[in-house]
Amino acid sequence: MNAPLVSSAISVAASELDLARIRADFPILRQQVHGKRLVYLDNAASVQKPRAVIDTISTCYSDYYANIHRGVHLMSERSTLAYERAREKVRDFLNAASVEEIIFTRSATESINLVASSFGGMAFKAGDEILITGMEHHSNIVPWQLLCERTGAVLKVAPFTDAGELILEEYERLLDSGRVKLAALVHISNALGTVNPIKTLIELAHARGIPVLVDGAQAVPHLAVDVRALDCDFYAFSSHKIYGPSGVGVLYGKKALLEAMPPYQGGGDMIRIVTFEKTEFADLPNKFEAGTPNIAGVIGLGAALDWLTAIGLDVVAAHEHELLTYTTAQISEIPGLKIMGTARDKAALVAFTLSGAHPHDIGTILDREGIAIRAGHHCAQPVMQRYGVPATARASFAIYNTRDEVDALVAALWKVKELFA
């Protein structure tokens, strides 16, 4: 089998961030949009893909693709090997104890739905509570509401301050009801950028015997996550936000919990023996991977993790933090611009409103300048309701963004300001 292609950015030393070389790894960044260079600041929605990932997926399809875990032929063996190697990469990336604890899904959304359906169906009865926070993405709200409808359980919501920080006393008070069966918490808010003190939140729940699911969709691309150090029970994320392809997600779960849980879906590849009377299920992790998965996508995620790890998440975090500080200072000068989410610990995104200009108008005008941002409710409508706004504009950063691009964003925002003055 061909070794996964390794990009030039892999050789970037942790101490010296060579942005030009990193950017050269992303073919899409060479494009012009409306005659302007593309400034891609919609990374929290989905990040662009480095050449290493694109080539790995292409090589999979052109050199060794077949269905996995089934064939006795060479192509199937090669695909299976590459797929399971990617699982080991994810295990290593999260520092999970075993590959049995790494389940591939379609997305962070599906990972959370898996837990809500399987663990939720097993552990909840009428009157039990699920504790979430007020800053959750819809993916960590709606699956629990569906569970509540099925079981009669009740959804509880921990509030946060105007700055976007969880109120710990309120969180503890809600944990103390004696009825909470699971806390499901976002690690980094996609609407505010808040980095929650997740280790403390997990410890507080565990002190009361409550397991914790962490929605890490916005966290894994920006900071190192060690599931054993966190001691979380479940951790969910999507490949497409961490430089991998879309259509792949990860669910980490503690082995004992996953073993106790019933399958989420039934079908091929998740069984040991099937008769019309009864089915015996496969061991972990296959028990939760029914049907043919996104084989090339999973292998592509493995390449993305190699690429990112070679740069180093400490380097990524330092660079993105610098961009965040610079952006915050620059856009705060614009009269009428209000940043939503000013937590002390913030990841690399800035959500804002500008008086007189609807966020969608801001997004459209910026697009004409070649700048891609997201405008809307960011699938976090309760956060918008918390601040009494229908939507915000949001610029979010990745490792390849530059101060230059922030300058372009700021100049364009001044233009918007003048236009709507």
186 binds ligand C6P (CB under 6 A): yes
* Choice between 7 and 109, CB closer to ligand C6P: 109
Applying CB under 6 A, among 7, 48, 56, 109 the residue interacting with ligand C6P is: 109
| Residue in 181, 92, 84 with CA at minimum distance from that of residue 132 | 181
Contact track, ligand C6P, 127-156, x by CB under 6 A: ----------x-x-----------------
DSSP assigned state of 343: -
Query: Of residues 377-396, which lie at the interface with ligand C6P (CB under 6 A)?
Result: 378-379
Shortest Cβ distance from residue 186 to ligand C6P (Å)? 5
User: Rule CB under 6 A: is residue 218 a binding residue for ligand C6P?
Assistant: yes
- Collapsing DSSP states into helix, strand and coil, what is residue 174? helix
Residue 107: which H helix or E strand, with range? none
Nearer to ligand C6P, 115 or 282 (CB): 115
Q: Report the DSSP beta bridge partners of residue 132.
A: 157
- Is residue 337 helix, strand or coil? strand
Q: Rounded to 5 degrees, what angle do the CA atoms 91, 94, 98 make? A: 35
Cis amide linkage into residue 4, ω under 30° from 0: no
Q: Is 379 an annotated catalytic residue? A: yes
Give the separation between CA 76 and CA 233, rounded to whole angstroms. Answer: 33
Taking the complex as a whole, the smallest distance from the CB of residue 78 to ligand C6P amounts, in Å, to: 28
List, in order, residues 6 or more apart from 252 with CB less than 8 Å away: 94, 96, 101, 102, 103, 227, 232, 234, 235, 236
Say whether residue 297 binds ligand C6P (CB under 6 A): no
Identify which of residues 17 and 324 has a Cβ nearer to ligand C6P in the complex. 324
Establish if 79 lies at the interface with ligand C6P (CB under 6 A): no
| Region binding ligand C6P by CB under 6 A among candidate stretches 18-26, 123-131, 211-219, 313-321 | 211-219
Q: Are strands 180-186 and 212-215 parallel, antiparallel or unpaired?
A: parallel
Identify which of residues 54 and 132 has a Cβ nearer to ligand C6P in the complex.
132
42 close to 373: Cβ distance less than 8 angstroms: yes
**Residue 108 binds to ligand C6P (criterion: CB under 6 A):** yes
Residues that bind ligand C6P (CB under 6 A): 44-45, 107-109, 137, 139, 186, 190, 215, 217-218, 238, 240, 374, 378-379
Active site residues: 379
